Amino acid sequence: MDKKNELEDKLDSPEDCSLGTLTMDDKRLLRKVDWHILPIMFFTYFLQMIDKISINYANVMGLQGDLGMSGNDFSWLATAFFIAYAVAEIPQGALLQRFPVSKVLGFNVLFWGIILCCSSATKSFSGMLALRVLLGLMEAVIGKSPPSLTMYTSMWYTRAESTPRYGFWYCGLGMGQIVGGLISFAAQHAPANLSFGGWRIMFVAIGAVNILASLLVLFSPAKARFLSEAEKQRISQRLSQDQAGVGNKVFRWRSVLEAFADMQTWLLVLLTILITIPSGVITTFSAILILGFGYNSKESALLNMPSGIVSIVSTMASTYAIAKGFSRWLAIDILLIPTLLGSCLMSFLPTENKGGCLAGIYLVNTTVAPLGIIYAWTGANFKGYTMKVSGAAIVSAAFSIANIIGPQTFQSKDAPRYIPAKITLVAVNAAAIVVSTALRMLYARRNSTAERLGTPARSKMEARLSSKNHTNDVHDDANFRYVL
């Protein structure tokens, strides 16, 4: 009971000036939503992280030798996944527009499990490559910049309330790193004379859990049967008052155009790319980097687990600070400082300094927390259902682009230290600090203009289209301001 109360206290948001003080009924309603919705989102994100990081651990468990891989084949396994992920963003987004989120998500989770189980039986690099492409197509519904979970969170919570909830389910990433290391370590204890090797056992185990979990997601409360009609109306009212309601699921070409013509979209895209390059590299190559420090494969699996702890702590600390009024852009800049320091340690320390190199890998994992903040930023600063979906999908595509680039910085000719890849991490982290600050300046300028003119804070394209075809919706609420 104490743990339940503790979680409820952490998820309580501060007073939101647009809504006034939360009543006891509102707090009770939020807690009811939390206990029905958040565990499903956390568990789903946890599963996709284990799916993704399994190839990282398989790399030190004999995957390349068993499949006859050579040269940059492994880098292409990682890259192919995200090429497919990028291609599938638009069709997955269309499915989310047309069908219930829980059903789209549930069927995709089912396919994740089937594909992972099939991966355990592959005998060649080409077979594994094909399966990674299929997995990328299915995971595009959620990935690390998830349109489904971004939308799902925006459907239930105001902007002030959404940030700690993003942080909670986003911690599934760190938990996936921790549990993935344990599964890899356990699978490596399989008898050596088995033809079905340790990495194959790992894929079957993870795939089976995904198949079982898909049933949970498929039968999740898509129509909110756990709420009364009055409670549903109260949620809708609160979202409308917050200018953050996603509104009706009606496709609007105007909103798509506004999203693509908005400078904030492309600054968020650039920021996502710069932050994700080191995140993707660590997710895919951290185990092999630790192996290069002189550890064996079992030790590599265990020593990679603290990375998940760093991910969880940095994510929860940053989202809690934002929930208490800390600026998002400043939180991102502060989180990028240890990431930059970790990149420098990895790049410039000799591998003989095992402690320093390990510390570098762990510090780089703080880069996952800014990604969570970016998703919350996207959900808060894009208005209306179609614009939110479009913005989330564009940012998701940026995540894919970064992960296509990231693995290719690891070339076999640079092994075992991969110095060019490590220096790339230093450069992109420094640039990300500049872009985050520029985004803050853009939002501040638009808010200042809106205050002066008494209009909603918006881009020039939004203002132009609104004057031509005025509609009374969240796009035209004069009280709307960007969150910083």
Reported as a single tens digit per residue, the pLDDT across 63-104 is 888 899 988 898 888 888 888 888 887 788 778 777 877 788
Question: By mean pLDDT, which of 194-198, 230-234, 264-268, 325-329 is the weakest?
Answer: 194-198
Indicate whether 437 belongs to any domain: yes
Write down the pLDDT at residue 466: 67
Interior angle at CA 322, CA 316 and CA 323, nearest 5:
85
pLDDT of 250 above 80: no
Evaluate if residue 480 carries a pLDDT over 50: yes
Over the chain, what is the mean pLDDT? 81
pLDDT recorded at residue 17 = 39
The pair of three-digit structure tokens given for residue 339, joined into one six-digit string: 């990431």
**Greater pLDDT, 367 or 130:** 130
Q: Which amino acid is at 178?
A: I
pLDDT at position 431 over 80? yes
How many CB atoms within 10 Å of residue 350?
9
Compute the distance between CA of residue 278 and CA of residue 61 in angstroms, rounded to an integer: 23
Place of tokens 């909670």: 168
Give how far Cα 358 sits from Cα of 69, 70, 312, 350, 372, Å. 27, 27, 18, 11, 24
Asked if residue 315 has pLDDT above 80, the reply is yes
Beta bridge partners of 20: 16
pLDDT at site 445: 93
14: in domain: no
Q: Structural domain of residue 317, as residue ranges?
A: 23-220+228-476
For the stretch 142-168, pLDDT in tens is 754 445 676 677 777 877 777 778 778
Distances (CA, A) of 116 to 182, 350, 427: 18, 37, 35
376 is a domain residue: yes
CA distance 471 to 106: 35
Is 482 domain-assigned? no
The 10s digit of each residue's pLDDT in 365-411 is 898 888 878 877 887 888 877 788 788 778 877 887 888 888 888 77
Q: 440 near 214, Cβ under 8 Å?
A: no
pLDDT of residue 223: 60
Could you tell me if residue 439 is inside a domain?
yes
pLDDT for 59 equals 87
Q: How confident is the model at residue 42 (pLDDT cuts 50, 70, 90)?
A: confident
Q: Residue 458: which CATH number?
A: 1.20.1250.20
- Collect all residues with Cβ–Cβ distance below 8 Å to 470 and sequence separation of at least 6: 476
Using pLDDT thresholds of 50, 70 and 90, give the confidence band for residue 213: confident
Residues forming beta bridges with residue 16, ordered by sequence position? 20
* Residue 433 scores a pLDDT above 90: yes
Residue 13 lies in a domain: no
What pLDDT does 470 receive? 54
Mean pLDDT of 170-196: 83
3-state DSSP assignment of residue 53: helix
Give every CB contact of residue 71 below 8 A, 6+ residues apart in sequence.
412
Q: How many H helices and E strands in the chain?
A: 21, 0
Give 14's pLDDT tier (boundaries 50, 70, 90).
very low
What's the rounded mean pLDDT across residues 22-29? 73
Minimum mean pLDDT among 139-148, 260-269, 278-287: which range?
Answer: 139-148
Mean pLDDT along residues 30-40:
82
Domain count, the chain: 1
Q: How is the chain split among helix, strand and coil, in percent rounded to 5? A: 75, 0, 25
pLDDT of residue 194 exceeding 70, the answer is no
Query: Cα separation of 301 and 183, whole Å?
Result: 9
Residue 8 lies in a domain: no
pLDDT of 16 higher than 70: no
Can you tell me the distance from the alpha carbon of 399 to that of 412, in angstroms, rounded to the nearest whole number?
Answer: 24
Whether the pLDDT of residue 220 is over 80: the answer is no
Residue 213 burial by CB count (10 A; 0-12/13-18/19+): exposed, middle or buried?
A: buried
In a domain, 6, yes or no: no
